[in-house]
Amino acid sequence: MSIDRLVQQHQLQGCHLSSGETVIPGRYGFIMEESSHELRLILSPKRWATYRQALSAVGMQVELAKRTSVAALFDSRNHSQLWVAAKAAGLEPARRR
């Protein structure tokens, strides 16, 4: 599932970057598209400490661990991975006007 379809299907607020990429910002991190079926979750190390067991339990792959941020790859077609990633990033539906 592409990130644009994910935004529409789950009524999330997506932001378009100047490079043309779409990201879904959350309260504690954000989700961006890596490939056609893979998405990348970016979290702060403090949030990572809280969700580390949950993310690894659903099979997410940690790609990068630095002092400033942590990235994990997940399959957008896997609903359990998508749900845990959304919860960890603090995503909320877009507000209606």
Give the DSSP per-residue string, 5-40: HHHHHTTB--EE-TTS-EEEE-SSEEEEE-SSSEEE
Q: Which two tokens stand for residue 55?
A: 């993310």
DSSP letter at 81? H
Identify the pLDDT of residue 88. Answer: 92
- The domain limits of the chain are 3-69
8 pLDDT above the threshold of 80: no
Identify the pLDDT of residue 95. Answer: 63
Q: What is the Cα–Cα distance from 24 to 29, expressed in whole angstroms?
A: 9
Identify the pLDDT of residue 58. Answer: 92
To the nearest whole percent, how much of the chain has pLDDT over 70? Answer: 91
Q: What is the Cα–Cα distance from 45 to 16, expressed in whole angstroms?
A: 25
**Amino acid code (one letter) for 66:** K
Average pLDDT over residues 46-54: 85
